[in-house]
Structure formats: structure tokens, C-alpha cells
Amino acid sequence: MKKTITVFVIVAVTCLLTWRFVQSDAHEQPTSAMDEGQAVLAEYKWNGELHQISLADLDAAIAELPVYRQQNYKNRADKAEYLAELIEERLKIHRATDDGFDTLPEHLKKLEDYTHQLMVEKLTEAEVDAKIAYTDEELMAYYQENLSEYVEEAKVRATCITLDDEDLAYETLDTITAGKDILEMAKELSEAGKLASGPGTNQDDPGNTYFFTKASSARWEDFINTVFAQEVGEITDAVFETEVNDAVFYLIFRKEEHQPERQQEFEEVRDDVVRTVEREKKRTRINDWVAEISEKGKLTTYPDNIPEPPQPEEAESEESDQ
């Protein structure tokens, strides 16, 4: 408990002194006399050894943070705040080292595992990533051989009014039949809060279903198939009733646009082709590379030495014997 109190007292005092140090005119170092990055922001002694934190150290520590956090330390006050955190972290590390936590076996094992992971990542970059190459001709060849993967499905868009009140649905249809535009009707019902949750109920653009494909929603399959079968400009001449998740909805809709299925051009899907070709080349290179190092290591495996797991009856028998 005393050790913990001591650590936090040291941290608090050091942070306070550091803040005063940064703010004090007596410690300001003119940039004309030295490189700005070498300006000392804090110093302290631990076990008789002098330690300093320069502006370059602080900037380097901030640069190691995730990008979204780096944005928080742009001005002087914010950097001074992070300086306090950096000092606290370094003091804690010194104290942990004094207590021998840097030599704990479990810590050393994790350090070794992480080191191995980084080594393999760097080796993979050198032996796989750096050795992957492809030409525009290869990309085009892959695209031509896999045209079916780059077909854009047919899409339609409609103006739709979705209601859960049958009487209101028939009243709405009568109003539209009498000459009211379906889009204006959708806006009025939306403002009145009478649209149900379903196609066309976006509050920012009432009635607009936006483009959708036949596979867009299994729940609204009947509605989707009906819209696809309509002609552009055609409106339902009767209330369309459908059941979704045990709830009944009443729809009135007009088909606005129909975009037929089309083959996407190479330039539209180039990025997807590149990713796929790179992935396949990496997979091939990894297999070849593993074969190379396995041969170099004279690898021999003995899978038959892996014992079969005990069968359930055998396990029960062993438990009963005990």
C-alpha cells in the first residue's frame, strides 16, 4: 500500500513540476540556440540516473498513437497534457523494473511470442508480399475469364406507401385514383406520422424505395416480385396486401425506374480484380514458400502418432473404473 501511495505521489509531483517547467520563462530555450526538437520538456532522476524528455520524444510518442488519437494533441496545451501522461508512464515503468516485473517468466514468454509474431510478419512481407507482381494483361485476362462474377443485377425503384391500417389504405387509394399524386400523398402521410415501417417510409424522402434487387429482402419478396413485373410508370390499381413477420401491411406503389442486368466494365471493377489476383498470387506464393522451407528443413511428419480420442463408451468405462 505504501509503495502504491509513493508511486502516485511521485507521479503527481512530477506532473506538477513538469507543467511549471513548461510554463516557466526560465526554462524556455530559444530555437535560435538549439534545434527545437531537442528542447527539454522535463527531467527527473531515478536511482541517481538523470532522465530527460525532449520535444522530439514527446512528438515521437504522439506519432505512435492511433491516428484518431493523434488529432487530440495538436496545440501546446494538449501536448502538455499528454506530456503528463508520458511522464507517468515512464515513472511507472521505472518502478516496475525496480520491483523485478521485467523478468517475470510469463512476461518474458509473451515478449518472446510477440517477437516471433513480428519476425514472421516481416519475413512474410519479404518472401510473399514483395515478390508478388502482375501485369495489366493478367488483370484483363482474369476479368475476361470470370465475367459472370462482374454482372450487376437488375434493379428497380418505386414510390411506395406502406400502411398498417386497411381502412386508411383504401381511403388513400381512392384519393390517388381521384387525381392526387402518389408522391405528394406519401409526403402528407409521412408528416402525419401514418406510414408504417416498410418500403418507402424514409422520413427524409417519403415514398422513395431507392433502387433494390430481387434479392434485397426475403420478407418483402411478394412486393419485390410485383414491382419487377410492373411497367415503368404503372401504379397498383388495388391495395396490395402482404404479410411480413405475422403482421399485415397494405401497400400502394408506382414503379419509377428499371435498370436491367448489365455486364460491368473492367475499369469499374478493376480494384476488385486487383484484390482477387493479389490474393490468389499470395496464396500460390505462400504454398511454394512453405514447400521451400519444408524441404530446406528436411521436414518429416508422423500424423499416425496422433492418438484417436477415446470413444464415449470407453470414457465412461474409464470413469467407472476409477
What tens digit of pLDDT does each residue of 15-46 get?
Answer: 444 444 444 434 444 444 356 678 999 999 99
Query: CB–CB of 200/158 below 8 Å?
Result: yes
Give the pLDDT band (50/70/90) at residue 322.
low
The answer to whether the CB of 175 falls within 8 A of the CB of 117 is no
Percent of the chain predicted with pLDDT > 70: 86
* Residue 250 near residue 165 (C-beta atoms within 8 A): yes
DSSP label at 264?
P
Give all domains of the chain, ordered by start, each with its CATH number.
2-103 (no CATH), 154-260 (3.10.50.40)
The amino acid present at 7, given as its one-letter code, is V
89-124 residue pLDDT tens: 999 999 999 999 889 999 899 999 999 999 999 999
Say how far apart CA 82 and CA 90 lie, in whole Å. 12
What pTM was estimated for this model as a whole? Answer: 0.59
Q: Comparing C-alpha atoms, which of 73, 95, 75, 88 is closest to residue 16?
A: 88
Taking the C-alpha atoms of residue 115 and residue 50, their distance in angstroms, rounded to an integer, is 30
Neighbours of 185 (CB within 10 A): 19
SS3 250: strand
